[in-house]
Amino acid sequence: MIDHSKPEIVSARYRVPAAIACILLLNAALASYLALTGRPLLTPDHPFQLWSTALGAGDNSLHLTDPYSLSHALFGIGLFFLVDGLKPGWPLAPKLVVAVAGSTVWELVENTPFVIDLFNDASKEGAYQGDSIANALGDTAFVMLGFLFAARVPVVVALAAGLGLEIAVGVLIDDGLLIGTLKLLGLYP
């Protein structure tokens, strides 16, 4: 008997290794683009930190992680619900690749002069100058963590965690997805 069902593009046995390879390629492409556009690997002005809450010009989004990393985890939670809603029958590994691709696109856009200027408030001391390569990769890791968290917990837990992350970023640095959107629209001081 001939099996006329749809063939799998990648067999289940190779799905996770293929996803890992895709994620590594996406991160390599992101790091290469940022390097070609002059973004530093690490902050050139201060010692490297795994976590930095300093928002001065020599620190803002230049260390591996910072309070904005929490917003990226929230973005990962949102990407899980988007991708899972669009492709509910897909296995987790390809969904994660799509989420990382989305995060990579955002990191590329976020580090363009237009968007840097859009987010930048030159009147503030910690004016945003774009991400370091390490920070962009750290942000992508937080997207993956948020995505995988949302994939493993009940919806209500993921939504509550997302709300908690947004509140934490708002309290820590008076920013976040909601406040940032309101600022861009001129509706928040």
Q: For a pLDDT cut of 90, what percent of the chain falls above it?
A: 58
Cα gap 106→89, rounded to integer Å: 25
Q: Cβ distance 29 to 97 under 8 Å?
A: no
Is residue 4 in some structural domain? no
155 in a domain, yes or no?
Answer: yes
Residue 143 in any domain: the answer is yes
Instruction: Tell me which residue of 62, 144, 65, 70 sits closest to 101, measured CA to CA.
Output: 144
Q: What is the pLDDT of residue 28?
A: 98
pLDDT tens for each residue of 168-186: 999 988 889 899 888 888 8
**64 within some domain:** yes
Residue 189 falls inside a structural domain = no
100 within a domain of the structure (yes/no): yes
Q: Give pLDDT tens digits for 120-144.
A: 765 566 577 888 899 999 999 999 9
CA distance 28 to 187: 37
For residue 172, give its domain range: 13-42+57-184
Q: Report the distance separating Cα 164 and Cα 40, nearest Å.
A: 31
| Residue 105 token pair | 């696109």
Give me the residues of the chain with pLDDT under 50, please. Answer: none
Nearest to 165 by CA among 183, 151, 178: 178
Is 66 within the bounds of a domain? yes
Q: How far is CA 136 from CA 48, 53, 64, 103, 122, in A?
A: 14, 16, 8, 9, 22
- Domain contains 50: no
Domain count, the chain: 1
Tokens at residue 102, please?
């989305």
- How far apart are alpha carbons 5 and 25 in whole angstroms? 31
Q: Say if CB 93 and CB 19 are below 8 A apart.
A: yes
Can you tell me the distance from the alpha carbon of 67 to that of 6, in angstroms, rounded to the nearest whole number? 44
Name 167's Cβ contacts closer than 8 Å, sequence gap at least 6.
none
